[in-house]
């Protein structure tokens, strides 16, 4: 009860967000009831407040990003903090050139934020990837592709960096599996995932980018509202869901990074039906 009272007090008093006092919450186990408590409280806060809470509460916190619009807003907000958490970018070796150019702009704009780049294990180029797996692996074995370019590199990053919690750019308004998104989640490996912008709309994200002149992917001005690998990203119409351009014509809506990790691993090893 004391811990709950302390947490409630911290949320209602912004002064605590900039102090070390709230860090005592670290010792509390994330039970289902505790997660509900956290989500109920965090839902009353603005994203900037949630980010502040995360940086003083969650140990070994990182931001995972593919430099989409919401991720860029997150980076910009975090840049105003004294010790912004580091970034993790998964270079699938199949990103648009515009995405890679954006990364250089972000590094120049926010030199105080460190960036960790992880690629498919032991590979540095698309040529090396194709030599090992053959061309267009995503068409031949989608599960293996997702595991190789996203799931395995992410878990390797989390292990090597000692990641305990990550910030994501997922939002309910993106539709699909994200429609019922909570602000804070625990995945099957015990990793804490925080979605600070879960309740924001695309318009709110877009307006922030414009207002604060945050660098963004040039493809966004060409009808690409959600940008991933070049082979699985197309433009969308104004009346379509934001992520309708990802894996067009497929039931799939997630890359595997936010799916069940162990299920992905079993599929990659051919151990599921």
10 is annotated as an active-site residue: no
Q: Reduce the DSSP state of residue 95 to 3 states and report it.
A: strand
The residue whose two tokens read 């019922």 is 180
Catalytic residue among 10, 214, 255, 264: 255
Beta strands in 144-227 (DSSP E): 165-167, 184-186, 192-194
The residue whose two tokens read 């998104």 is 181
| Cβ(71)–Cβ(103) below 8 Å | no
> For residue 250, how far is the Cα from the chain centroid?
22
Closest alpha carbon to 51 in 72, 15, 81, 20: 81
| Cβ(233)–Cβ(245) below 8 Å | yes
Q: Alpha-carbon distance 51 to 74, whole Å? A: 8
**DSSP at 36:** H
| Cβ(25)–Cβ(3) below 8 Å | yes
> How far are the Cα atoms of 79, 116, 170, 250 from residue 238, in angstroms, in the given order?
31, 34, 20, 20
Please identify every residue annotated as catalytic.
255
């Amino acid at each position: 009860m004391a811990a709950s009272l302390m947490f409630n007090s911290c949320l209602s008093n912004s002064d605590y967000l900039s102090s070390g006092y709230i860090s005592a919450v670290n010792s509390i186990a994330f039970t289902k009831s505790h997660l509900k408590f956290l989500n109920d409280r965090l839902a009353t806060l603005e994203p900037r407040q949630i980010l502040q809470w995360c940086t003083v509460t969650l140990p070994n916190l990182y931001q995972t990003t593919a430099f989409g619009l919401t991720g860029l807003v997150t980076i910009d907000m975090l840049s105003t903090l004294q010790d912004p958490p580091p970034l993790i970018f998964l270079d699938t070796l199949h990103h648009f050139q515009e995405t890679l150019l954006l990364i250089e702009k972000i590094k120049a704009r926010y030199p105080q934020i460190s960036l960790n780049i992880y690629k498919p294990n032991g590979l540095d180029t698309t040529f090396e990837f194709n030599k090992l797996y053959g061309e267009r692996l995503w068409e031949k074995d989608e599960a293996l592709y997702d595991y190789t370019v996203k799931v395995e590199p992410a878990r390797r990053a989390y292990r090597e960096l000692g990641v305990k919690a990550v910030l994501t750019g997922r939002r309910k308004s993106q539709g699909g599996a994200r429609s019922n998104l909570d602000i804070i989640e625990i995945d099957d490996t015990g990793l804490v995932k925080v979605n600070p912008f879960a309740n924001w709309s695309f318009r709110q994200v877009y307006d922030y980018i414009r207002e604060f002149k945050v660098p963004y992917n040039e493809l966004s001005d060409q009808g690409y509202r959600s940008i991933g690998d070049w082979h699985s990203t197309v433009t969308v119409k104004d009346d379509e869901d934001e992520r309708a351009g990802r894996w067009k014509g497929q039931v799939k809506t997630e890359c595997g990074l936010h799916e069940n990790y162990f299920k992905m691993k079993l599929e990659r090893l051919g151990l599921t039906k």
